[in-house]
Amino acid sequence: MNLKKNSILLSLIFLFFSQICFAEIKVINNIEVKDLISKGVPLIDIRSPIEWKETGVIEGSHLITFFNDKGKVNLDHWYVNFNIVADKSKPFILICASGVRSKFASFILSNQFSFPKIYDASEGISGWLKQGQPVIKSY
């Protein structure tokens, strides 16, 4: 009986601390992206400068590359720039080309920092463009 109580207690403790230590990651579509942007939730485009120039960017998005030129996570650079454009105590949206890197970045950020909520734009900029949504040029 004590073993069962201990298991339940440990499970509750883990659940409690996992809610404190990790951000909630919510996968969203482009309709939700538009809605959240209209409510003032910052959109952070984690693609590379070359990609921003090739496709354009969503107006109002913050351009902070998450990976370096070799495809490695550049967390220190990203976090410094994030602190300039967003409030770490509030939710934000991550977008990449197709949703793969934003999902990966969401997971890393959730495990490294105590953000309250990260929205992962699962369709990426490619889905945004396929739906005929507007973009602006990036310089």
8 falls within a domain: no
125 falls within a domain: yes
Q: How much is the average pLDDT of 116-136? A: 97
Over residues 16-62, the pLDDT tens digits come to 444 445 679 999 999 999 999 999 999 999 999 999 999 999 999 99
C-alpha dihedral sign at 46, 52, 56, 62:
positive
67 falls within a domain: yes
Domain that holds residue 62: 23-130
Which of residues 80 and 74 earns the better pLDDT score?
Answer: 80
29 falls within a domain: yes
Q: Give the total number of structural domains in the chain.
A: 1
Residues 6+ apart with CB under 8 A from 54: none
Q: What is the CATH number of the domain that holds 70?
A: 3.40.250.10
The amino acid present at 35, given as its one-letter code, is D
Q: From 107, 135, 116, select the one nearest 30 (Cα to Cα).
A: 135
